Amino acid sequence: MIQTKPPIYTTQHHYHKPNQKTMNNKFGMGDMLTQLGSLLASAMFVWAIIQQYFPYNIRNFFDKYSQRFFTYFYPYIQITFNELTGERFKRSEAYAAIETYLSKTSSMQAKRLKADVINNNTQPLALSMDDHEEVSDEFNGVKVYWASGKNIQKSQTISYYPNTDEKRYYKLTFHKKHRELIVGDYLNHVLKQGREIKVRNRLRKLYTNNGSLWSHVVFQHPASFQTLAMDPFKKQEIIDDLTTFSTAEEFYNRIGRAWKRGYLLYGPPGTGKSTMIAAMANFLNYDIYDLELTAVKDNTELRRLLIETSSKSIIVIEDIDCSMDLTGQRKKDTKEDEEESDNTQRSKQQMKPKENDSSASKVTLSGLLNFVDGLWSACGGDRLIVFTTNHVEKLDPALIRRGRMDKHIELSYCGFEAFKVLARNYLYLEDHVLFDKVRELLEETDMTPADVAENLMPKISPADPERCLKGLIDALMEAKEEAVKKDVLAVKNNDIKVENGSNGTV
Ligand SMILES: Nc1ncnc2c1ncn2[C@@H]1O[C@H](COP(=O)(O)OP(=O)(O)OP(=O)(O)O)[C@@H](O)[C@H]1O
């Protein structure tokens, strides 16, 4: 289908001369129409002169009436997408998606381009067309035109926002007979493609909250599922689950559920819970929102923070049992519980705000449940929420029931398969005569992947794998002896309690 370029009229200082041939074809070849065409062309010429040389208020006056006049004859439809929207002049998501979508076309067609560094390894520069440029695009054989523009408004007020007097926009022009296709399928295509390219190109961010405000740094963590030491079957199951989730937008729409998934990661300290979150973010190409609940004043602040999170992100609440009072359950903690908790747990408890502290967080379990179930679900886009804990048994069952925390993953002490991953990563070793000894010891004693990794860390350069393995074996034997000593001591203490008339339970 041959389509000619439409005459684009805008309220800007630039003017695209109409194509006379196009106009004649459109309205027939009769004399009268030819004359009408010339009249129209003359009118447009006068209008262009006014735009170029007349002061703002006169231009404004002419704009108002000329727009009405041209609309009558003009067979094209225009849609404007402004860059800044809303009260707080937030950058419009549609504008950003269009800019990204047009980047490739702009770099081929536009004469003046803008470049921005995106620090992406594969594509370091993002190109977009400069103001008052125009490019064409084709969709299902239909040609459309994108023009970039800028309105400069003389504002009387002092604004806190930078350059709010300059209002950029993209204007899409297409023939009115294609209205349905362009307004529906084409625009969906542009926004979807734009978002996808943006996600692929973006620098991912790690957000942390200071009270009710998010601040971010660039997220660059090298962890991946390849480097994560855990049982390969379990690992594959998680990878499959994430892949299914991230590509299931239509499925979630069809079954009428929000596109969300909750993960509960639990296990002793140093078993890789934080490392797994980083691997998940790298795998899915998602941002991370590391939510510090103890810094959140109340449920309202929590709601605000969560509403501000973007799609394609993982919202993480680490050590959930230490971050909040779980419906009074913690208040009922027995003395024994306190004795039981290990040093790490105790130090984390110290970080927890005191109950009579006026600055203490008033976020409640019900506030958190509301967020997991309702408010958060109302925000569009895909999001994962991940809770981590060292003490899964202390969590309120309501918080972690399926539907809220869909997948419960236990990260445990290092097994032989996990050790093999670490040996491959740290020492480039697939096999070694000492592996059997390591396997035997790992079956007999508990050592976290963090400790195993530390023992495999080469201490000299170039690395001596055998020396590292021997170091690990020594450490495992030491841990085994410690465990035996602890057991003996525990049995002795129990015996003493029994002698004193107590069966050891309080
Ligand atoms: N499964 C694992 N695979 C690879 N490395 C691991 C694994 N577990 C721990 N490590 C190593 O140990 C370090 C500490 O692990 P990580 O912080 O992920 O543990 P964690 O379970 O989140 O601990 P905590 O509960 O104390 O926060 C990591 O930097 C990583 O190098």
Q: How far is the CA of 229 from the centre of ligand 1 (A)?
A: 9
Question: How confident is the model over 112-137, as a mean pLDDT?
Answer: 80
Report the SS3 class of residue 239: helix
Range scoring the smallest mean pLDDT among 146-155, 224-233, 272-281: 146-155
Full DSSP string of 174-200: EEGGGHHHIIIIIHHHHHHHHHHHHHH
Please work out whether the CB of residue 345 comes within 6 Å of at least one atom of ligand 1. Answer: no
Q: Is the CB of 323 under 6 A from ligand 1?
A: no
268 C-alpha vs ligand 1 centroid, how far in Å? 10
Task: Identify the residue with better confidence: 231 or 505.
Answer: 231
Ligand 1 atom 13 nearest Cα: 450
| 8 Å CB contact between 440 and 260 | no
Mean pLDDT of 109-130: 77
pLDDT, tens digit, 9 for 90 and up, residues 394-404: 888 888 887 77
Is the distance from CB of 89 to CB of 161 less than 8 angstroms?
yes
pLDDT of the residue at 486: 81
Residue 149 beta carbon below 6 angstroms from any ligand 1 atom: no
Backbone angles phi, psi at 12, to 5 degrees: -95, -175
Q: Which residues contact 468 (CB under 8 A, 6 or more apart)?
A: 426, 427, 455, 456, 457, 458, 459
Q: Ligand 1 centroid vs 452 CA: distance in angstroms?
A: 10
Mean per-residue pLDDT, 188-216: 86
pLDDT digits 0-9 by tens, 303-344: 888 888 888 899 999 988 877 665 444 344 444 444 444 444
pTM: 0.65
- Write the residue with the smallest CA distance to atom 24 of ligand 1: 269
Substitution site in 221, 274, 455 for ligand 1 pocket (most atoms within 8 Å of beta carbon): 274
CA angle in degrees (0–180, nearest 5) for 258-259-263: 105
254, two tokens: 């069809």
Average pLDDT value for residue range 20-34: 55
ipTM metric: 0.97
272 CB less than 6 Å from ligand 1? yes
- pLDDT confidence of residue 487: 77
Best mutation site among 227, 230, 273, 275 for ligand 1 pocket (most ligand atoms within 8 Å of CB): 275
Looking at residue 256, what is its pLDDT? 82
Q: So what's the pLDDT on residue 352?
A: 45
Q: Which atom of ligand 1 is nearest to the CA of 265?
A: 21
Q: Is the CB of 390 under 6 A from ligand 1?
A: yes
Ligand 1 binding pocket includes 419 (Cβ within 6 Å): no
Q: Is the CB of 98 within 6 Å of ligand 1?
A: no
Does residue 409's CB lie within 6 angstroms of at least one atom of ligand 1? no
Question: 272 CA to middle of ligand 1, Å?
Answer: 3
Q: Which two tokens stand for residue 108?
A: 């081929």
pLDDT at 387 over 70: yes
pLDDT attached to residue 27: 45
Regarding the beta carbon of 441 and ligand 1, being less than 6 Å apart is answered no
pLDDT band at 198 (very low <50, low <70, confident <90, very high): confident
Residue 469 has pLDDT above 90, yes or no: yes
Top-confidence residue, 21 or 292: 292
Which residue puts its alpha carbon closest to atom 11 of ligand 1? Answer: 450
Is residue 13 pLDDT above 60, yes or no? Answer: no
ω before 124 within 30° of 0 (cis)?
Answer: no
Per-residue model confidence as pLDDT tens digits over 42-94 = 877 877 777 677 776 776 776 667 667 766 777 889 999 998 876 666 778 89
Pocket flag, ligand 1, residue 389 (CB < 6 Å): no
Q: What separation in Å is there between the alpha carbon of 269 and the centre of ligand 1?
A: 7
Q: According to the model, what pLDDT value does residue 337 have?
A: 45
Locate the ligand 1 atom nearest the alpha carbon of residue 278 and give its number. Answer: 18
Whether the CB of 324 sits within 6 Å of ligand 1: no
- Residue 228 Cα: closest atom of ligand 1: 3
Whether 356 has a pLDDT exceeding 50, the answer reads: no
The chain-wide mean pLDDT, for the chain, equals 79
Q: What is the DSSP string of 284-335?
A: HT-EEEE--GGG--SHHHHHHHHHTPPSSEEEEETTHHHHS--TTTTTT--H
